[in-house]
Amino acid sequence: MGFSLNSITQKIIFLSLIATTLVQSQETIKSARILDLVIRDYTFESYKTNFKTGKLHSINLPANLSGIKVDTVRFRCGSLHRYGARIKEFQLSVGLKILPCDKRVMIVRQNLGSNWSSLYYDNYELSGYQLVSPVLGLLAYNLGETNNASVSTNSTSSSSSSSSIRSDEKRPIIIDFSTTKSVGATSSSPSKIPLCARFGDGDGKVTLSNQVGPGLCATTGDGHFGLVVEYSPVMPPLRGEDRKEVSRWRIVVGGAMGAAVGAVLIGLLMVAVFVKTKKKKERREELVRRAYEEEALQVSMVGHVRALTASCTRTLPTIEHFEYRPPPS
């Protein structure tokens, strides 16, 4: 019939890959890595030989991936290195490198929107922070030297098809979040300046950095990015049992604090009474001492002994003078 065994084998592998992708997409996707693989497979499934180099193409995703927007564009490796490119929110600088890149590379841009951005919040350590922008992804795949769709699709089954994007720190890749919609802004922290978050490659770690401009982030490689703000989680309302438990604790703590305050007041009162009594006693002793000191006593010698003698206070007798008249005879 004119069909070679190699061609039939490639078609069987291609159909098997599509079937596997469809099964994966129908299951509940709970891993950010699995989501990337599903998007990659749908992107290469839509890949056609008439994709023009340098032209942006939108990828149609199934209904169970609603909210995700994917765009892809094919470049020659040398041209991308010399001229850079603008892909939606990503500004690829001049001089960036794609490793590996044989001849052509496919750049995939992802916007996970409000439905799927929370997947990164669940898979990465972001406690104390909240996403306020959709997660944007920038990934690269090496196309080699062929444009055959089946070969390209089959090549995605191996990890060697994935490429990494690297740029210089002086000429980084700029990510513009100013045109994206907020997905998690809270009224508790409206005045805080968002930080740029780069989600690690499956290691569960997040790298935070300051913005380089209003809504602008800088990176030296591919990956997934978003804006986060620091926030304090609001405590959930207490249930009936919790309220009763809190009321008991309030009564116990309030009683203990009241007893402590009462003991302190009684102690202060006793100290005040003691101080007042002591002052009265000292004042009485002072009055007695002054009374003894103010009384003037004379000192006289009695033999060879000096003794205190009081001055005479008796009234001295006086002889009254009157004319004597003899009694009548």
Same domain, 94 and 161: yes
d(CA 114, CA 132) in angstroms, rounded, equals: 10
Same domain, 205 and 268: no
Same domain, 226 and 243: no
Same domain, 47 and 191: yes
Q: Is 3 a member of any domain? A: no
d(CA 129, CA 194) in angstroms, rounded, equals: 10
Same domain, 265 and 137: no
Same domain, 145 and 259: no
Same domain, 144 and 270: no
Contact present, 144 and 155 (Cβ < 8 Å)? yes
The pLDDT mean for the chain works out to: 77
- Give percent of the chain with pLDDT exceeding 70: 66
Is-above-0.85 flag for pTM? Answer: no
Same domain, 201 and 251: no
* Domains: count for the chain: 2
CATH number of the domain enclosing 138: 2.60.220
Same domain, 211 and 246: no
Domain around 222: 8-230
- Where on the phi/psi map is residue 216: left (φ > 0), alpha (ψ -120 to 50), or beta? beta
> pLDDT digits over 92-148, tens only?
999 989 988 888 899 999 999 888 888 887 888 778 888 899 999 999 999 876 544
pLDDT surpasses 50 at 158: no
pLDDT-based confidence at residue 181 (cuts at 50, 70, 90): confident
Q: Is 303 a member of any domain? A: no
